[in-house]
Every structure is written in structure tokens, then in C-alpha cells.
Structure 1
Amino acid sequence: MKLKHLAFRKTINNLSKINAKPVSGKSKDLSTISATISPSLYPISSVQSYAYLQNPKNSKPISAFIRYIHSTRNTMLSYASVGEELVSCDSEDEDDGTVNEFLSRFIWIMRGKLIEVYTDCNKETIDGMLLAIVEKVVEEMEKGGIEQMVGSTVVMPSQDFSEDLWRTVWEVSNMVLEDMEKARKKEKMKQFLQSEEVKEMCRFAGEVGIRGDLLRELRFKWAKEKMEENDFYQRLGRFRHAKQEKGVNVLDKHAVAAEDMPKVASLPKRKGKIKYKMYGLDLSVPKWAEVADKIHERGEMIWPQEPKPISGKCKLVMEKILSLKMEDDPSQLLAEWIQLLQPTRVDWITLLDKLEQNPGIHLKIAELVLREESFQTSVHDYTKLIDAYAKENHIEDAERILNKMVESGIMPDSITATILVHMYSKVGNVDRAKEAFESLRSYGFQPDMKIYNSMIMAYLNAGEPRRGESLLREMLTRDIKPSEDIYMALLRSYSHSGDVNGAGGIANSMQLAGFQPNTEYFSLLVKAYGQAGNPDQARSNFDSMIKLGHKPDDKCTANMIAAYEKKNLLDKGLDLLIQLEKDGFEPGIATYTALLDWFGKLQLVDETEELLGKIAELGEVPPLKVHVSLCDMYSRAGFETKTLQALGVLEARRDELGPHEFERIINALIAGGFVNDTQRIHGIMEAKGFAASEQVNMALSAHQALSQIRPLNRWPSR
């Protein structure tokens, strides 16, 4: 029997080595423990303990407790029988693991508190005290009394323990339950961290360039949201099941309100005796304590901290911060909040997440937070703020944050460079976009399709399709398939500039890449060859489009008419229109505008005005090109009144005029002899920042010289 008693004592000693760390802090008044143990508890048979307790130098009043223990040796048999049952009994209940963990953590913490108070007691004496306390706790757990004690705020009276001791047991029990709940949440969070939905979101984030600490924070955030969503539906299911068992309609809100949900934490209810087993593993070996410490330290590194609870004045200040407006200065409130809370990084992140509902003040506070030491600012924090400003097209603010980032000694990384490429490409600053693109390569980061697309569009917007095409070739060498939109953007750029070679090369690349040509594809090729003065090749592409089953639209037909205009092949142009009308084609405003411009250059006034009437019948506003053509025709034909009318429309729409249109109007006015009007239009052209060509300047000089010698004769007004 004595061997069984010692075995149980060793088991209790081993409990202190389970994966739980001692909790710092002073115990309540445990010095009165000597008077708190009733004669129903169990003795200590250690000779050393008895000799030590007889030492008159002991300053702790525990002699009554020890005398009682040695006076009740007969209870050793009953205690040993309990130890035998606890050690040898196998449990199949699901709650055994929870109770085992609770007792292990409880004994660890209680041992530390006893050692702090009874510094002169040896290990055997401390073990005896633990045996008495744990046996009483186990007894209360079996009766259910410990659950009431843990969930209450008033210390329970007992004939065995004093109020001080019960208060300490109550505090330790609550502390253990809180730690167990945190551990349970961590284990549950691990499952959601490995869920397919979170993995898929992380993969997507990695594809868009999110790496390192930022990805880790987002991963925990997504997993936490999934866990909270799962908990909500589980609680809802349990609530519905409980109501159905009671025969209550879950849709009856009055019946639901009548039931109060339990909100206090408690130990699991037991159906039988507590069963405790160590599974044959001796955790008293010192190496297991070292393993537990290392696991705890590693958990603190990889597990996100929880924000501090906010209440009282700090909560009021935080509500004021959340209600600030764009024009308000948050510095004073922020300083007060910092002084009250002493925030860590997780508290700052929680505040910024709540401020996302107030976009006006969010960016302002996010910028102020960067200089706070407690925020532990990293490169990702600067990058997130730069990205936010870039999405709002606040280029100056984004560049200001970038300068602050460099001044603070933090250099941009690949994610920052990616954001800068997109930002500068969007606003058309090709030089800065190129700098960011090259810096991205210097980091050893390989651009993805989105970065290539942004950089190619930046080159195209700057009128440099050749550089854009070189990046497209680079994508192909890296086995990145460009999208059809990129091919079409390059073809469009070459077509507008009349670069036949570039347009033909992109067209061939599209066919090799497997893209099927559409109507816009052929229309751009027709336009490119037309501007290059090759109407035959333009007509060849036009006929190929029809053979492939694509019906020419109004824009494509207008491009074909413009191609014939380059060589003044009016007969072929009219024959094409007659043939298309037989096939059911109806000219639109683009085709009429191309014909009107052609007839205007031929001085066919009546035919031009007839086309102008057809455009009016369509019910659409004539494009700017129509008014330029009319001004050119009427000025050269000498119709002063109609010239001035067309010129008045053009002056009203001066913001839409480009250098090419200005030069055509000036040449027409010079040809018609409109001296004052010519000088006025030339002044408007210079005011808009357009420089006239050398040919136009020579014509203006000659026109002014002739006007001073003799006035020019105009044709009579029509």
C-alpha cells in the first residue's frame, strides 16, 4: 500500500512538468493554510518533512496542519486506494484529456505559489500540501461545486479551506481555464490556417506579389474570419437543436428571448469519478521542461498577439478618433490614446482596421502611425500606404511617403516597385515607370504579366510602341503568354502612327499565338496601310475580312475610304460603297465624315453639303473633323460667311483641336485671304503650347508680307 501511495505522489509531482508555464505574480495570503485543512484530508509520511516541521525556526504557521497530518495516519489506506484508482483506471470518456490538462496546469501553478510562501519547506512538504489541495479540488469537481466556484465572483465558504485558500484556488482555476481556452483556440486556428480556402487566398496573394510579414498577417486574418464564421454557425446549430428538443419554435423571438444563454466558463461536467493517467511517460525529467519552454517561446514568435481590451476613458477617446472628419487634426486625440493604452503593434493594426470605415481620416492617421516606435514600422507598412494613395491617384502623396521611407533608412522592395510601376503607368509618366521597372529587376524579381502589361501600356501612351513590343518579346521568351488586349493595343498604336511594318509584325504574332482576327483587327490593318499610302494592301485586308465572314462596320469602311483618298481614287471608293450598299451596308457617321472630308478637299461644295444633311439625319453631333473640313472648303472657295460660321464653331471647341487641325485651318485661312482670322488662330495655337511647323511659319510670313503690299481680293460671299 505504501508503494501505491508513493506512486500517486510521484504522479502528482510529474503533473508539474506538463506543458504549462508558471504564472508570475504573488499569491494571496497562503500563510493561513495551516488552519484551513480539516481532519478529513490526507497525511504526509516523510520523515524529513516531520523533522522540518518540528523546527522552531520555521516562521510559517503550518504546525497545526502538520500535526493534523501526522495524527491521522489511518487515512493513509483510504488515500492510497484513491491513488491506486486514479493511476490505474483507464478512461474512454472524451473529457479525460481536458481534466488531465486542467489538473496538470493547476498543480504547476499551485506548486509555484506554495514555494513562494513557504520558502523553508522542502519538496516533500510542498507535495503534501498539494495532495491535500488537489484531493479537495477533485472532490469538488466530482460534486460539481468547483464549477459554481469558478463561475462566481464570491469565494465559497468551506469547512476544510479558509476563504484565503479558496480565493487562491478560485484564481488559479480561472487562470488555468483561460489558458486552456486560449490553447484550444490556437489548436482550432491551426486547422483553419491549413484550410483550402485560406491556402487559395494565400496563393492568390503570392501571385500578386504579397510576401513575408504582410502575407503572414493576412493569412492569420483570413483564418480568424473563417474560424469566427464557423463558430457562429456552430452556436446557431446548437441553439436550434436545443430549442427543438425543448419543443420551442426557434422562429418565436419571444420564446428565444426568454432563455438566457450561459456566459460563464466552467469545467466539463462529469458523469463519474475523475480518471487521471500519465500514459507511462515520466515528465519529471528536466529535458521536458526545456522542451516546454522552447515550445512556448516559439509559439509567441509565430502566433499573433491579441489586442488589449479597451474600456473607460480610452474607449471614449477611441470613439472620438473613429468619428473624426477629413479636415480634423487627429494628433491630439492620438497622443491621448497612446498615453492611456500604451499600444503594441497589434493594437495599432486593430485601430487602423476599424478606421477603414472612415476613408477620409484613415490615410491621415496611417501616415502618423508610421513614426510611432511601438508600431514597429516595416517596409510593408510604407508600401500599403503608398498603394492606398496610388489607387486614389494621389501621386504627390505617394511620392512623399516614398521619400519618408527612404529617409527613415528603409529601402523599397519588389512589392513597392510593383506598385510604383502600376501607378506611373496609369498616369502616363513613362520615365518614372521605367525607373521603377528597372529597380524591380535589380531586386532579382521577375515581373509577372500584370507588371508587363502596365509597362507596355505606359510605352504605348507615350507613343513608343517599339519599346512596348520589345517587352512583349521578352514575355514570350519567358513563356508568359501576352493577352489579346495587349496585342490589340500594340496594333492600335502602330495603326494610328501609320507604321505598316510594326502593324504587320504584330498581326503575324497574333496569328502565331492562336488569336482569331476580328473586325477591329482588320480595320486597324486597313487604316495602317491606308495612312502609309498603300490602298491595294488595305483593300486586300478588307476583302480578307469579308471572306472570313466578318461584316465590315462603319469604322472599317471609313478607313478604307480614307485609304482611297490618299491616292485620290474616287471611282474605286464610290464603287466600294455601291457594292457594300447592295450587300445591305448602311453608311454611318464615320463613313459620311470620310467622304465629306474627301469632297471638301475636291471643292465639291454641293455634294459636301448633301453629305452634311445626311449626317444631320442621323441625329448625331457632327465630329470636329467635319467642321475643320467645312472651314477648309469654304475658306478656299471664298465663302466668307460660311467660313466664319465654321471658324466660330472651331473656336468654341478649341480645347479639342490638335496641332494638325490648327495647321490645316491656318493654311486654309491663308489661302482664303483671312488675315486677321489667321493671326487670331495662330495666337490660340501658341497659347495652347503647340509650335507651328516650318512650312506654316513660312506661309504666315509670306501672307503678312503680301497683305502689307496690297490687300488680298476675296471671292464674293455666297
Structure 2
Amino acid sequence: MNLKHFISRKTVNSVSRLNERFLCSHISQNNRNLSTVRVPFLASIGSLENDDFTLLKKPNPKPNLCFYRCLHSTQETKLISSSVEVKADSEDVEDENLNDFLSQFVWIMRRELSEAYPDCDKETVDGMLLIIVRKVVAEMGKGGLEQMLGSAESTPSQDFSEDLWKTVWEVSNSVLEDMEKARKKEKIKGFLQDEEVKKMCRFAGDIGIRGDMLRELRFKWAREEMEESEFYKDLHKLREEAQAQEQEDQANAEAQGEEGEDGVGMEETPKVVTLPKRHGKIKYKIYGLDLSDSKWAEVADKINESGEVMWPEEPKQITGKCKLVTEKILSLKEEDPSPLLAEWKELLQPSRVDWINLLDRLKEQNPQVYFKVAELVLSEISFQTNIRDYSKLIEAHSKKNRFEDAERILQKMNDNGILPDILTAAVLVHMYSKAGNLERAKEAFERLRSHGFQPDMKVYSSMIMAYVNANQPKSGEALMREMDSRDIKPSKKIYLALLRSFAQHGDISGTGRIATTMQFSGFQPTLESCTLLVEAYGQAGDPDQARSNFDYMINLGLKPDDRCTASMVAAYEKKNLLDKALNLLLQLEKDGFVPGAATFTVLVDWLGRLQLVDEAEQLLGKISEQGEAPPFNIQVSLCDMYARAGVEKKALQALGVLETKKEQLGPNEFERIIDGLIAGGFVQDARRLHGQMEAQGYAASEKLKVALMASETFGRKRPARR
């Protein structure tokens, strides 16, 4: 606290010049009247804007005895106490609290004055302090500490400046606060030894609470006991006052008489008694949980606000005729559920929760009818249809591969003016990817981006699979790079799908990129990935690189299976390297490998192209010996082989098998069969199969068209039957 802002340097100089004369006058003439002494210090404090002096008022001839003791309690106040005439009076009462207050006030004010005027000697500071203390004593004499601290701040002294009096008030207030803290500290020491506090401390020690935490809890419990004691003490005092007042009122009533001359009793005014203010808060504890905390009131309000969400409305109880109608709806087969739903609605007057309850039961007991009822319920006003109901039904249809029904629900959704949101768009991406509709999948995917949604792992996977199924692995690879840039690690399934797609197209560069990226992502080579690399190089017509990857797989400790070996043999077939294929099979058989249906199928196809019918039939017999049915694609090789060899019966037999499952044939298989039939002289059969090819939407190549035209013009004699 700095006093330089309200005590001028001129004041200090005046005090320094007159200090000796002022103090000598006080010391030598203790009993003189000081009303004629002019004190420039007081004048400067009272008004810093001019040099007017005011007369020091005559001091109280009988100051408080406690103030005399306060001044003698410290060495710093000896000079002040020697200048004050103190005489004990019979009316003076010793007050220890007031004594402590004045003692601390003098000590703090001396420090503040010394800091504000470091150039002043001790005698000058004593002169300043003497005048301040006398003013404080005079104010205390008017009404005690409460009077001084309560009203003195708002009523400045006429002798002191406003700033100085404010400083005196602040020091007084701080001293009183320190005294109050000391009083509470002394009082709480007694409650630390209270039996209840000791009991709780022993319990805390038994459960493992030690050190600082136990000390804090002990003081907390002592403070609570003190507040409770003060509350009941005030309550007891209030009761005694009420009893005394009641006795006084009763005595007054007896003196005045019980009734007047008119026989009407005197009305007694009821006295209102209020409880004293409680210092502490009332505690409500249940199982150790303090429910008196204000946060529990906030929790209760939130629970009431969200009650409908936390405790949803229960469905209505279904009884009587409504119950019979409900059972009929649950047992429906192929009938239209609309009439029964209308009757059920009229009987029950359902809300949304009743509709949901019915749909849940249908979904569990009759899934086929569930989709019909769920679609009808979407148009019910009482169902309160929202966008989530549409998206859930679309997703349910897509999981059952009911894509046309899902499209119909989506159209209804658009007709009602409800645009697909993020969740619905994600469902559509999964559905169209599964259905193989790339354009609609891309549309839904772009809708997600337009909403500002960053696709997650599941959406990316579905979109990449849509590109893979549409034979566009490069677009899928671009999405995979986008995932990696967003720190979304593609799954092993995505890598293998892209690797498989590149391998089927014989794209060596794409296959190598995916394989390298897969290893950098932490996925070690597996039998599946190595097999796909062998297939890729085989499709590209590079058997040497295929064999290099085949040997690398073996060096890794992976044993090639039937599919991997068949891929390696197919790579040799591209270049007609039969000797290398046979050497590979002999080497693998030494290591315990047994060829399976896949390897034999490739060999049968190879031998069939070479017109080695007997050898091909031997291998066909080995497939049967293994207890496996010949794969469907081997019929293409057999039909081509038998037709070119002129074996009519077996050729037509194989052709009959192919025609029964013609939807499984691709354009390459159709062309090979037709070309073989033409070469064998089965022109009518070739034309019939060409018509089936066009019916499935496949266009014949120019080479095949020329062969068909030549067969119509020149004809070709069927070779002798074998």
C-alpha cells in the first residue's frame, strides 16, 4: 500500500521542521491543553491543495484503557503512549479483541508510513502515527469497530483527506479479517478433539486413508461440527428469547384483565418466530453420496427433459379383437396385408411405438410379409416416417439382394421430397456396389462428397469393389491411393481384389504396383498373392517371369497348391512349352504334390488343342478317380476337341451340357465352341449356338463371321464318325 499519492513532499518537510518542537511540547506538558498547537502535518493531510493549517482538536482526557495497553505492548509505540494521558475509569472495560486490533493496526500503519517516507526519521513517523491513531480511537469511541468499519468509509473525516481515510479503513478491515480467521482457527482446534471427529478419523485410518488426505478430511469434519454447534447454539438462544417474550406478554395480559366489560376477550397478536440463519449447508447423504451438491439439481433437470428418450413410451396393450387381427397379420402368406392393417389401425389407433412393435414381431416371425407391411407403413401419418425409416428398409432389401425393391423404396423417398442424406448415400454405395451398378454407385459416392462427408473405410471398400467388378482396376487403385493419403490403411481384402483384377487382365505393371504397395503396407506375400502374380504373367504370355515368381514362393516356404500349379501350367500352355510343364509336374510330385482337378483341367484343354484325344481322356478319368465332378469349363475343351476330331456322339453330348448352362459362357467360350463345330463340319449346330450367343448380347468377331459365311457358301463335309 503506497501513501505517496496522497501525502505530499511538502508535508514531510513541514513535519521535519516542526517535529522537535511538537514532540517536546507533548512530552513536557502531558496535561496541557493541546488545542493551541498548530500541526502542519494534519493540515497537509486534510487538504493537499493548499497550505492552510488546522488546529489539532483537544484529545480525549480519558482514552480507553485497552488502547493504553496496546501502545505499551510494542516498543514501536512507546513515544505515542508517552504523549497520551491515560487514566483508568471505573466504566472502562477491558476488551482483549479491541486490544489485539489496535496492536496490529499500529504495527501495519507504521510499516506503511516507513515505506512511503524512507527519508524520515523515527520521530517524524511517530508524529504522523500519533495523529492517525488518535483519530481511529475517536472513531472507535463513537460505536466500536463495527461503526468504524461500516460507516467510516462512506463518511470521510474532516481532518483527514479522502485518500488517507480510505487507507486507514482498508488497514482496519484487513486487521479485522485476520482477527476473525485467528478466532475461527482457535475455535476449530477444540473441535479437532471432538469425539465424533476422532471416530471418523479412526474409520478413515482403518480403510487406508493416510497422510495429507486424512489431515484435510479431519479439518473438514471439524469445521462441519463447528457449524452444526453454532447453529444449535443460535437456535437455543432464539428459544430462550421467545420464552422470555412469551412470559412478558402473559404478564401484561394478566395485568390488563382477561376480558372487557362487553365480554369480548382481548385478541392476542401471534408472534412470528423465524429460525436463525444456518452457517453450513444441510447435507443429504445416501450411501455416502452427497446429494446436497448443486450439480444433482442440474442432473435432475436434464433427466426430466430427456425422459421421453431415456424412458420411451410403451406400446399399447393388445387385447380382444385387435389381438385376433394381429395374429392374422403375423400368419399371412402371399395375401395383401392392406385390409388387415386398416382394420388393425381402426381398432388400436396406433402411435409410432405400436407400429414399430408390430414390425419387430413381423421381422422375427414372418420376414417375407415384413417387407410388404414395412413399405405400406411408410405412408401412414401416425407412423411419423423419417429418413431413417427409408434408409433402413433400403438396406434390408439390399442385404437380401432385392435390388428392384430397394430402388422402388428409393423412388418413393424421392417422390415424397426426402433427399438422401449421408447415411442413406452410404447405404446406396454398398447396395450398388454389390449389384454391380457402377454408375449409380459413383452417383451415390459423389453425393457423399457433396455433403462434405469424408468416406470411411467401409465406403471406400465398397466403391473399390464396384470398380473391380466393372473391370476398372485402375480407378479402384486411384481410390486406394486417396485412402492412403488420408491415413486410412487399405485392408488386405482390397489389395487382393485389385491384384486379382489386374492379374485377370494380364496387366503386369498394375499387378507389380499393387504387390509392391502391399508389401510396403506391412502385408507379407501369401500363397494367394503369389498365385495371382503367376496368373498375371501367364495371362501376359511371359512364362519365365511366372516361373520366377513360382520359385520365389517356394523359397519363402510356401507350398504351391493345385490352383497355383494349374496357373503355372497354363502359363507354359500359352507358349506351348509342354516339356517344361511336364518337368515341373515331375519335380513337384517328388516333393509330394498330387495334381488336382484344376491342374488336370488345364492339361486336358492343352492336349485337346493338340488333338491328343486318348491322352486327354486318360487325364479326364483321373479327375473322376479323385471323386470330383469335372468342372464346367472342361466341357468347352471336350466339345472343341471332339468336334475337331469328328467324334460326333461325344461332341454333341458335350454341346448339350454346354447349352443347358449357356448363361455361364462368355464370348470367348462361345467363339471357341462355334469355331470347333465349324471345323468339324457341324454347321447347323454352329449356327444355332451363334444365335444363342447373340441372344445373350455377345457380338461375334470378324474372324468368326467370315468362318460362318464360308460354311454357308461352300459347306463342309462332316468327317466320318468314330
Give 1:486's aligned amino acid.
Answer: I
Greater CA drift, 449-458 or 664-673: 664-673
CA distance in 2, matches of 1:460, 1:385: 27
* Structure 1 position 556, deviation (Å): 1.0
Q: Kindly provide the CA deviation profile for residues 291-350 of structure 1, in whole angstroms up to 9, marking residues without a partner as x.
A: x8xx79845686655236536658647745763524455445544555555544444444
The counterpart of 2:613, out of the listed 605, 613, 616, is 605
Counterpart for residue 374 of structure 2 = 366
Instruction: Tell me the distance in 1 between the aligned counterparts of 2:620 and 2:401.
Output: 42
Of the three residues 554, 558, 571, the one matched with 1:550 is 558
Seen in structure 2, the aligned counterparts of structure 1 residues 91 and 300 have a Cα distance that, compared at 3 Å, is closer
The aligned counterpart of 2:540 is 532
1:484 corresponds to which of 489, 492, 499: 492
Q: Which runs of 5+ in 2 are unaligned?
A: 1-233, 240-263
2:322/2:348 contact within 8 Å kept = no
Partner of 1:440: 448
Residue 580 in structure 1 maps to residue 575 in structure 2: no
Secondary structure at 2:332 match in 1: coil
2:386 to 355, 378, 382: 378
Q: Provide the rounded CA distance (Å) in 2 between the counterparts of 1:371 and 1:622.
A: 53
RMSD: 4.1
8 Å contact from structure 1 (residues 321, 330) kept in 2? no
| 1:566-602 deviation digits (Å, cap 9, x = unpaired) | 1111221222122212222221221122122222222
Q: CA deviation at 1:534?
A: 0.7
Q: Please tell me whether the aligned partners of residues 324 and 330 of structure 1 are also in contact (alpha carbons under 8 angstroms).
A: no
* 1:335-414 aligned within 5 A: 335=342, 338-339=345-346, 342-358=349-365, 359-414=367-422
So what's the TM-score if we normalise by structure 1? 0.57
Task: Give me the whole-angstrom Cα distance separating, in 2, the residues matched to 1:441 and 1:448.
Answer: 11
Q: CA deviation at 1:482?
A: 0.8
Provide the C-alpha distance between the structure 2 equivalents of 1:71 and 1:427, rounded to a whole number of angstroms: 100
Kindly indicate whether the alpha-carbon contact (under 8 Å) linking 2:646 and 2:718 is maintained by their aligned counterparts in 1: no
1:105-254 correspondence runs (5 A): none
Counterpart amino acid of 1:717? Answer: R
Say if 1:72 and 1:385 are closer, same or farther in 2 by CA, change over 3 A. farther
Residue aligning to 1:712: 717
Deviations 1:150-191 (CA, angstroms, capped at 9, x unpaired): xxxxxxxxxxxxxxxxxxxxxxxxxxxxxxxxx99x97xx9x
CA deviation map 1:115-163 (0-9, x unaligned): xxxxxxxxxxxxxxxxxxxxxxxxxxxxxxxxxxxxxxxxxxxxxxxxx
Q: Which runs of 4+ in 1 moved over 6 A?
A: 70-77, 88-93, 97-100
Does 2:314 align with 1:310? no
**Deviation for aligned residue 1:479:** 1.0
Query: In the alignment, which of 473, 477, 485 is matched to residue 481 of structure 2?
Result: 473
Counterpart residue number, 1:668: 676
Query: Percent identity of the aligned residues?
Result: 56
- Alignment CA distance shift 1:373-1:502 (3 Å): same
**Residue 456 of structure 1 aligns with which residue?**
464
Contact 1:491 1:506 (C-alpha < 8 Å) held by counterparts: yes
> Which structure 2 residues correspond to residues 329-340 of structure 1 after superposition, within 5 A?
329-335=336-342, 338-339=345-346
**Equivalences, count:** 459
Q: How does 1:255-266 map to 2 (within 5 A)?
A: none
What does residue 650 of structure 1 align with? Answer: 658
1:364-386 Cα deviation digits (max 9, x unpaired): 33333333334332222222222
Q: Give secondary structure in 2 for the equivalent of 1:480.
A: coil
Name which of 505, 514, 536 aligns with 2:513. 505
Distance across 2 between alignment mates of 1:674 and 1:335: 64
Query: 1:424-480, CA deviations, whole angstroms, 9 ceiling, x for partnerless residues?
Result: 111211121111111111111111111111111122112221221121111111111
Q: Which amino acid aligns with 1:393?
A: N
Q: Which amino acid aligns with 1:712?
A: K
Distance 1:705 1:424 in 2: 48
Q: Secondary structure at the match of 2:413?
A: helix
Call closer, same or farther: CA 1:366–1:630 in 2, change over 3 Å.
closer
Q: 1:553 to 1:304 in 2, by over 3 A?
A: same
Aligned counterparts of 1:403 and 1:549: Cα–Cα separation in 2: 55
Instruction: Note closer, same or farther for the CA distance 1:696–1:299 as it changes in structure 2 (3 Å cut).
Output: closer
**What is the deviation of 1:515?**
0.7
Q: 1:316 to 1:423 in 2, by over 3 A?
A: same
Residue 330 of structure 2: aligned partner: 323
CA distance 1:321–1:76, change in 2 (3 Å):
farther
Cα displacement (A) at 1:519: 1.3
* Cα shift readout 1:601-632 (whole Å, capped 9, x = no counterpart): 22223322332232232222222333322332
Paired with 1:713 and 1:548, the residues of 2 have a C-alpha distance of 54
Structure 2: distance between partners of 1:99 and 1:574? 86
Could you state the TM-score of these two structures normalised by the residue count of structure 2? 0.56
Paired position in structure 1 for 2:29: none
Q: Which amino acid aligns with 2:721?
A: S
Aligned counterparts of 1:299 and 1:639: Cα–Cα separation in 2: 82
Letter in 1 for 2:526: N
- Structure 1 residue 664: Cα displacement: 1.1
Please report how far the alpha carbon of residue 98 of structure 1 lies from its aligned counterpart in structure 2 after TM superposition. Answer: 14
User: 2:490 aligns to what SS in structure 1?
Assistant: coil
Matched, 1:659 2:667: yes
CA contact (8 A) 2:325 2:343 kept: no
1:537-583 Cα distance to aligned partner (Å, 9 max, x none): 11110110111111111111111111111111122122212221222
8 Å contact 1:492–1:524 — kept in the other structure? yes
The separation in 1 between residues aligned to 2:512 and 2:598, in whole angstroms, is 24
Q: Secondary structure at the match of 1:441?
A: helix
CA contact (8 A) 2:283 2:291 kept: no
- 2:633 and 2:350 mapped to 1: Cα distance? 64
User: Is the partner of 1:447 in helix, strand or coil?
Assistant: coil
How far the C-alpha of 1:526 sits from its partner, in A, is 0.9
- Residue aligning to 2:530: 522
Where do 5+ consecutive residues of structure 1 fail to align? 9-69, 101-182, 191-291
| Aligned match for 2:689, one of 660, 681, 686 | 681
AA aligned to 2:717 is: L
Alpha-carbon shift at residue 414 of structure 1 (Å): 0.5
Q: 2:623 & 2:388 partners in 1: Cα distance?
A: 57
Maintained 8 Å contact 1:452/1:471 = yes
Change (3 A) 1:641 1:376: closer
